[in-house]
Amino acid sequence: MGRYIVKRLLTAIVAFFGITIITYILASLMPGTPLDMLVQPGSGLSAEEIAEIEHRMGLDQPLIVQYFYWLGNMLQGNFGTSYSQYRPVWDLLMDRIGPTLLLSISSLVIALLIAVPLGTIAGYKAYSGWDYGSTIIAFIGRGAPTFFVALLLIYVFSIQLGWLPASGMYDAGSTGSFTQLVAHMALPCATMVLANIGVFTRQMRNSAVECLSEDYIRTARAKGMSEKTVLFKHMLRNALQPVVTSAGLALPSLVGGSIVIEQIFAWPGMGTLMLRSIQGRDYPTIMGITVLISVVVLVGNVLLDILYRLLDPRIGDKA
C-alpha cells in the first residue's frame, strides 16, 4: 500500500507539471502581455524605462525560461499579483478555495449518500417500481443542464415559495451563522447533487445487480445469513468499487460545473472569481485558478484511488 501511494503520487506530480505547461502555453497565447496591463498607454514612460520593467519581470527571456520562472515562483506560493484587484493572487485564491471546496465536497458526499442506498434498493429489487423510478431520475439527472436546474430551483424555492435565499453565502451585512450558511448552501448544493445523483445511482444499481448474482452472495445465503448481512456486509463493499471509480471520473465535471453554479448563486468561490477575472482579463488570476482547480481534482483522484485500493484487497497486493 505504501509503495502504491508513492507511485500514485509520482504520477500525480507528472500530471501537475503537465497541467502547468498547458496553462502556461494557453496564458502566453492570451492577447496582450502583462506589460500592457502594467504600463498603460500614455503613461509617459520612456522606451528604456519600459525595457527596464520588461527586464525586471523577465519578459525579455525565452518563453521556456519564463515558464520556469513562473513555476518556481508558483511553487513558493507566489502566483503573481492580480491585475484587477492589485492583491497577491495567492491571497485571492485562499479566500475563495474554502467556499468552493465546501460546496463541491458536501455535494459529492450528499449525492453519494443518496445514490448508494437508492441504487442498492433499485438493484436489489431490479425491474420493480423502485428500479424504474431510479432509472427515470437517472435519465433526467443525466440530461438536465445544471444552470437550468438552478434557475428552476430558484424560481420555485426562492421566488414562489420564499423558503430559501438565492444568492451569497450569508445574509448581506450579517456576521453569518451556521444556519444561515446551511440555508444559503441548500439550493446550490441541491443543484450539484441533482446533476450527479443520476449517474451514481445508475452505477450503483448496475453494480449491485452484478454483485448479487455472484457466487459468494449465494454462499452467504447458503450459510443462512440474513438479507441485511448479505446486502451490507457481502454485497456493498464489492459493489461500491465501480461507484468510487465513477466518482473520480465525475470530479473534474463536478468542480468545473461549480463555476456555473457559483455564478448563478453568487457563491463567493473560485468559480465567481474565475468569471470575474476572465471579464477583467486578469491573467495571473486565471492561471492561478486553473492550476489550483486542477490540483484539487488531482488530489481528489489520488484519494479516491487509495480508497479503491482499500476496498479491494486483491489489487492492494499487486501494487
Positions 228 through 247 that interact with another protein (CB under 8 A): 229, 233-234, 237-238
The pair phi, psi for residue 171, each rounded to 5°, is -60, 145
Residue 14 vs 64, nearer CB to another protein: 14
Task: Work out which of 1, 75, 94, 152 binds another protein, going by CB under 8 A.
Answer: 152
Neighbours of 232 (CB within 10 A): 12
Residue 269 CB, nearest distance to another protein (Å)? 13
Residue 275 CB, nearest distance to another protein (Å)? 6
Q: For residue 268, give the amino acid letter.
A: P
Task: Work out which of 293, 305, 308, 309 binds another protein, going by CB under 8 A.
Answer: 293
First to last CA, the chain: 7
The window from 44-52, 54-62, 70-78, 291-299 that contacts another protein (CB under 8 A) reads 291-299
Task: Work out which of 220, 243, 247, 273 binds another protein, going by CB under 8 A.
Answer: 220
DSSP string of 133-183, one letter each residue: HHHHHHHHHHH--HHHHHHHHIIIIIIIS--S--SSSS-TTS---HHHHHH
Contact status: 37 vs another protein (CB under 8 A): no
Contact status: 23 vs another protein (CB under 8 A): yes
Grid cell for residue 135: 432509472
- From residue 197, alpha-carbon distances to 114, 150, 222, 233, 255 in Å are 7, 15, 34, 23, 15
Please, which of residues 84-103 interact with another protein by CB under 8 A?
A: none
Residues facing 81 on adjacent strands? 88
Contact status: 196 vs another protein (CB under 8 A): no
Residue 32 CB, nearest distance to another protein (Å)? 11
Residue 7 CB, nearest distance to another protein (Å)? 14
